[in-house]
Amino acid sequence: MSLNSNWTVDQRYRRIEEISQDSIDEMVNLRKQDAGYPSYHIAPKFGLLNDPNGLCFFNGEHHLFYQWTPVGPVHGMKYWYHLSTKDFIHFEDHGIGLHPDQDYDSHGVYSGGALVENDNALLFFTGNKRDENWLRVPTQCFAKMSADGKIEKHGVVIENDHYTEHFRDPKVWKQGDDYLMVVGAQKPQETGSMALYRSRDLMNWQHKGPIQTRYNNLGYMWECPDFFEIDNQSVMLFSPQGVSSENPYDFKNIYSVAYILGDRLNLDTAELENHQDIAQPDYGFDFYAPQTYLDDKGRRILIAWIGLPEIDTPSNAYQWAGMLSLPRELQIQDGYLVQSALPELKALQGEAVTVENVLELDTTSFMVELETDTDEFEFTLANATGDNIVFSAIDTEFTLDRSNMSKLYAEEFGCVRKAPRLSTKQTIEVYVDKSVIEIFINGGKHTMTSRFFIDDLSMLSIKGDVKTVYRSMSPIKGLDD
């Protein structure tokens, strides 16, 4: 259901300088009328937000960049938009961090990650260039951000000698004396891979080839690769395209997110040694392009895009699209990548209210804790006319059903998502913010992240033996107009 086809290429690739102030004011005014615009999630003031980029802890702050198309809720000319925060409650809006202003990124500053080195944060990105025949010329590039916030580009460090035009999203880390980079890459035989590069000086990179796993022929492209270690275990995290499954849980969205846990990356053979089966961190409708970083406390923090390529939501009518997930700390437990909402977010919570059966809502930004030891329950968000979404459980699985929303979209991919239930007794956290729901199930071993659209959302109800505690959530600060 892509509205992008309604835009011409010239319209989509307009730069921000070409957009009149009147047009910007009109988009912002429309967005302000949207009751679905979140209050404690990061979303664009106008235009389209997609992948989180350049996440890092630098100079005493968490720095968050994201892909931004200012022309409207459409994929077109990409910029890196820049925010920072010390506590995930108070934010500073730095505006555009990287502009598509060089020949090598003439058609967009595409995604990438950050590496903090000495007194700089190095921002690696894909330069997206189209030639006169509209053929894509992707290169891996970097810029330096100094402690005073100035960002300066340093050009191309890797040209594309081994892959198709789908070669993007560099993520860099340091291991001993080596710098290592993974890039999402489509091999010449048109299968996806995580390409590995190695350098001693950040300028000259040796191609080590695709990281070798049992999944060398999975899908036609892997986007937004990340590679990191937790407790001496290696994690490959990526967003594969062109993957489906026969089981009721995995790979049900147009594109999904996957991870592979292994012992270590062998730099000589580029093999992830002794790795587990591929797994999915999120079973919701809208979770893509996650990126992670280490903060000053040694926490591995993940932020994802709540949205999907090629899927348009009802927010588009209000001239904005996409938001970032809540920041989540990652740990490894029982062979799973476990996610938990950062404890800093507790500062946004209001007083605890116990819910017996039904709660009339006085705000649509809140969180709920569901403590259960029962096989079946049903948690419903609804309006007065009965439009709803329902999160329910039986003994073996969870279900999120959005087939009865006020506004449906992406129905061709189904309106129901299921996830395995790993234990009867568990405490589930549900974060709701206007038109987004993030559900932490199975002790964080899985999440279900989704947009939903209910006009005049007014009540919450629970059926089953579930201790239900509700808390309102205050808005994050510093990003309002």
CA atoms lying within 13 Å on the CB side of residue 99: 9
Q: Calculate what percentage of the chain has a pLDDT beyond 70.
A: 99
What ranges do the domains of the chain cover?
A: 9-341, 343-473
The C-alpha R_g of the chain, in whole angstroms, comes to 22
Q: Average pLDDT, stretch 352-361?
A: 98
Do 325 and 303 meet the contact criterion of CB atoms below 8 Å apart? yes
Sign, CA torsion 190/291/244/414: negative
268 is catalytic: no
**φ, ψ (nearest 5 deg) of residue 26:** -65, -40
pLDDT tens by residue, 398-423: 999 999 999 999 999 999 999 999 99
Options 1.20.1050.10, 2.30.130.40, 2.115.10.20, 1.10.150.130; CATH of 9-341: 2.115.10.20
Sign, CA torsion 216/163/102/144: positive
Q: Average pLDDT, stretch 338-356?
A: 98
d(CA 473, CA 345): 9
pLDDT (0 to 100) of residue 6:
82
Q: Please report which confidence band the pLDDT of residue 480 belongs to, taking 50, 70 and 90 as the band edges.
A: confident
pLDDT (0 to 100) of residue 287:
98
CATH architecture observed for domain 343-473: Sandwich (2.60)
Do 299 and 88 meet the contact criterion of CB atoms below 8 Å apart? no
pLDDT (0 to 100) of residue 15:
97
pLDDT tens by residue, 277-312: 999 999 999 999 999 999 999 999 999 999 999 999
pLDDT tens by residue, 389-400: 999 999 999 999
Q: Which amino acid is at 18?
A: E
Q: Calculate what percentage of the chain has a pLDDT beyond 90.
A: 98
Do 30 and 319 meet the contact criterion of CB atoms below 8 Å apart? yes
In DSSP notation, 82-137 reads: EEEESSSSBEEEEEEEE---SGGGTT-EE---EEEETTEEEEEEEEEEE-TT--EE
Place of tokens 């996610």: 339
pLDDT (0 to 100) of residue 3:
46
Please pick, among 34, 51, 87, 277, the residue that the annotation labels catalytic. 51
CA atoms lying within 13 Å on the CB side of residue 3: 14
Global pTM reads 0.98
Q: Residue 324: exposed, middle, or buried by beta-carbon count in 10 A (0-12, 13-18, 19+)?
A: buried
113: its two tokens = 């990650």
d(CA 424, CA 126): 45
Q: Please report which confidence band the pLDDT of residue 5 belongs to, taking 50, 70 and 90 as the band edges.
A: low
**φ, ψ (nearest 5 deg) of residue 200:** -105, -15
